[in-house]
């Protein structure tokens, strides 16, 4: 039985971790297609140029892109269309706009492939540890879906309708961004009011009560001396908030305030910093 050939397109914080899990599994031949990298960061994964895609003939194609335009550009490539027509399983990890993901499902299904809408959450750490959570709608049943997803996804949630994983992920991200944006309204006052007792408050916030899950994962990144390690780029959160706005059933004042705060953070710090920059002081 021949190896399953897996093509991953897009090299970023998430796919660096995912590639390592795919390449470490016997029975897989893994290739990377990236516009920005001539060499793979993972041993045993070879880079493939656009010209080389036509000879690869992947069984599974995994896409993770910076935006809708880049996703559409890749899935419209002629060699990718040929692989889809041959029955490839196509897994789109990107958090796309709703119109784009519905277009993508139709493209893959009508071309003869299996479309797997699969936005994920867990950031860099989840990708590196292989413990991402995935919101999934697959157009059909295929053993290759589980074969690949189980290598980097710990928890999978299946939705019945196309587009529903994306609808959920966009509002989920917007809700999380709202909670994150409130940290800077309350953490500095706590530091000022408690002084030397602030470490006690920090322990409580990060370990006890209903807010602990949110605060434990992000509180340390806004404190003095925190490393600038990138978990999720600010520009990606800005993109997701824009997509969320497009599907919000009704206007929401709080959502508008949060979008404005993330926009201001991007103007101050640029889009390539971590999205916790929404809480950073100006001097950082």
Classify the phi-psi angles of 36: left when phi > 0, otherwise alpha if psi is within -120 to 50, otherwise beta.
alpha
- One pLDDT digit (tens) per residue for the chain, 284 residues: 578 999 999 998 899 999 999 998 888 999 999 988 888 989 889 999 988 999 999 999 999 999 999 999 999 999 999 999 999 999 999 999 999 999 999 999 999 999 999 999 988 889 999 999 999 999 999 999 999 999 999 999 999 999 999 999 999 999 989 988 888 888 889 989 999 999 999 888 889 877 787 777 777 766 655 556 788 899 999 999 999 999 999 989 999 999 999 999 999 999 999 898 898 876 55
Residues 20 and 145 reside in one and the same domain? yes
- Residue 284 covered by a domain: no
Residues 10 and 142 reside in one and the same domain? yes
106, 127, 161 - which closes a domain = 161
The CATH number assigned to the domain holding 139 equals 3.40.50.720
Residue in the block written with tokens 């194609």: 61
Whole-angstrom distance, CA of residue 258 vs CA of residue 256: 5
128, 161, 194 - which closes a domain = 161
Indicate the helix (H) or strand (E) that contains 133.
Answer: strand 132-138
Inter-residue contact 101 to 162 (CB < 8 Å) = yes
Buried/exposed code over 58-96 (b: 16+ C-beta within 10 A; e: otherwise): bbbbbbbbebbebbeebbeeebbbebbeeebbbbbbbbb
Boundaries of domain holding 178: 167-279
Which residue, 63, 73, 87, 65, is CA-closest to 4?
Answer: 87
Helices 198-207 and 183-194: angle between axes, nearest 10 degrees: 140
- Residue 218 covered by a domain: yes
Residues 46 and 105 reside in one and the same domain? yes
161, 185, 211 - which closes a domain = 161
């Amino acid at each position: 039985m021949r190896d399953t050939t897996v093509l991953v397109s897009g090299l970023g914080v998430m796919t660096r971790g995912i590639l390592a899990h795919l390449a470490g599994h016997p029975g897989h031949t893994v290739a990377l297609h990236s516009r920005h990298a001539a060499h793979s960061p993972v041993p045993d994964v070879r880079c493939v140029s656009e010209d080389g895609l036509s000879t690869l003939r992947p069984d599974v194609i995994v896409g993770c892109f910076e935006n809708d335009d880049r996703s559409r550009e890749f899935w419209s490539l002629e060699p990718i269309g040929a692989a889809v027509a041959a029955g490839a399983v196509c897994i789109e990890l990107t958090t796309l706009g709703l119109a784009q993901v519905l277009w993508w499902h139709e493209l893959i299904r009508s071309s003869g492939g299996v479309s797997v809408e699969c936005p994920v959450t867990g950031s860099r750490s989840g990708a590196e540890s292989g413990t991402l959570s995935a919101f999934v709608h697959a157009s059909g049943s295929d053993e290759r879906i589980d074969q690949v997803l189980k290598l980097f996804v710990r928890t999978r949630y299946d939705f019945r309708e196309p587009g529903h994983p994306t609808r959920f992920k966009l509002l989920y991200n917007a809700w999380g961004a709202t909670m994150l944006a409130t940290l800077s309204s309350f953490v500095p006052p706590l530091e000022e009011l408690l002084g030397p007792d602030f470490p006690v408050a920090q322990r409580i916030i990060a370990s006890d009560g209903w807010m602990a899950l949110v605060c434990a994962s992000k509180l340390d990144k806004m404190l003095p001396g925190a490393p600038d390690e990138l978990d999720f780029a600010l520009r990606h959160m800005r993109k997701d908030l824009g997509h969320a706005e497009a599907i919000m059933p009704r206007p929401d004042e709080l959502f508008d305030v949060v979008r404005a705060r993330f926009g201001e953070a991007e103007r101050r710090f640029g889009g390539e910093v971590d999205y916790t920059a929404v809480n950073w002081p100006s001097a950082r």
